[in-house]
Structure 1
Amino acid sequence: MTNICELVHVDTKEAEFTWVRRWGVRGNVEVRLDRCLASLSWLYSWDSFNCCTLPRLCFDHNPILMSFSNIFGAGQSLFQFRRMWLEHGGFQGFVKQCWDFVHLHGCPLTILQHKLRILCKSLRTWNWEVFGDVHRRVHTDLADLVSLQHDISISGGSNANYARECELQANLFETLRLQELFWKEKSRLRWLAEGTVFQDPLAIQNYILENCTDLFANHADYSDMGLICRIIPSTVTDVENGPLMAIPSSKEIFLAVKNMDPDSAPGPDGFNGPFFMSCWQIVGEDVTAAIQHFFHT
């Protein structure tokens, strides 16, 4: 029932079992009878929610308490996965910790979407605590380097100053590289030519007119000559239909993810191809289960 209705068993904290029968030591029975079910639309309606059991008082059931709230408000920006996160040494461990922390039962599609939603919120906090504002980091690193070089020019410098200068230069170079990667993804467009830098809008316009005109052309002279019907048979044999109707294997799903365009804009949830490829060992099982469930139903 929960699979057909695409419901999720919300993870309940505190007591593992919610009903007891006390008939002495040998007759003691504890069972999980009470559960909290939620639809995906309900889960998406709240920024945070929590489900826990309360102590049993005069009944043999534990009451279940559900709390939920919108703490971020309506003005929060859309989430978008940043490829610069992949270069951080602790990224994989953080994703695994968040992914394994959520324990849900129900529709695989709903479980995957819910886990991605929880990971999205966690990555927002992680990004701010670990990376911070990349533009502010560029400004800070640049100011530190300028200040140190100014002091060296006045005092003549020392070995410690020179070593510190090399360190600041490396930090600034790395921060500038991350900022460049940020702006490349922020544009949500594929660069017209990888590594090509246009100095003015007129150069961009000329490049589009010279190379992209056919992409926007209106082929008004198209007419159906029946070529497809003559070349492609109109029937499919049972032998051919078997593979077409087969549920995709985990290997096929992985190859499809691997062939995703890494430079395309992410989907509505903000996660793109590079995320799934880099974290496939962590999220692959849930992604495969969700896709196979889609084809089954």
Structure 2
Amino acid sequence: MGDFNAISNITETHEGSMRWCPAITDFKECLQHAKLVDFRFSGILYSWCNKSFGNACIVKKLDRALVNQGWTSSFPLSECSFLTPGISDHNPILTTFIKGTAVFQVVQKLKLLKPVLKGNCKKDFTDIDSLLHAVKLELDACQSDLDCSPSNTCLRQMERSFSTELIRLTNIQESMLRQKSKINCLKLRDSNTAYFHKSFSSRNNKKKILSLTTDAGILIYDKESIIEEIVAHFKGLLDTAAPPTHSLSDLCAFNFKQVPSHLLSSLSEIPSPLEIQNCLLHLNRDKALGPDGYNAAFFQKAWDIVGRSVTLAITEFFNNGKMLSEANNTYISLVPKCQNPSLID
């Protein structure tokens, strides 16, 4: 790890006159002879800059972290990040190690990422309505000026820029509201903001349990009493050992459709990385995977980054049958089977 003062490919430099030089071939041959490859990295690509301006500016990837096959096998989920250089002409390299099972490493990485995502969301999208309003006013003013000067190229470019930004902010707002309202049937993208708000409020009101009739026929309104009654009801159901309704001989009498013999072995096979990827990519993008808040859209969009770690974790589970409790958490909630529920049946 460090400054090798050489690049391995012409794409690792950006300067006024990019050209091939013998050092590129020499460095590539050295890496091949030593059986070294670039460590998985993220962040800044060009790790060195001469701090000049215009055509005199030269940036190159001179700093790198190299690993061999032994390292990759021992630390499959380690990685390094090239940070911003600050006042230096070289970028610092930060190496990250997360020990433990593959599932544990995925859980820990997602935990470390969440504060960063929350910070970015708070910074860029906290006041999305105000941002939309401001861009809409700018677009209106620009289009009013265009009405007086239709051939003004500068105004036409400004209009296009404001329109693009308005569409981007509108899509972000609708995405946020869609996740809150959990409306899966809405496919139109025509800025139905009022509809989203009304739907969200309506669904919340219908699902509220403001009163409850107990098994004794008593109507209760106190929130704590309602919670106690619901918990006691389900405890009674789950703690009671109910007798089996059918014996094995009864079940054998049913003519169940059987799995063909040539497919039986496939039921116990470890899924391939491609099967895992296809399964995740076909999930509903707005469905949350668990209390951690990461929905399918996150994994689908970032699959090139998180895919390897997630695939290792899933494969590990199929191999040893053990699932970390943190990765298996879920919400248990009451789902009303009628509007304005007031009775547990």
If the TM-score is normalised by the length of the shorter chain, which range does it land in? 0.3 to 0.5
TM-score, normalised relative to structure 2: 0.41
Which of 1 and 2 has greater Rg? Answer: 2
TM-score, normalised relative to structure 1: 0.46
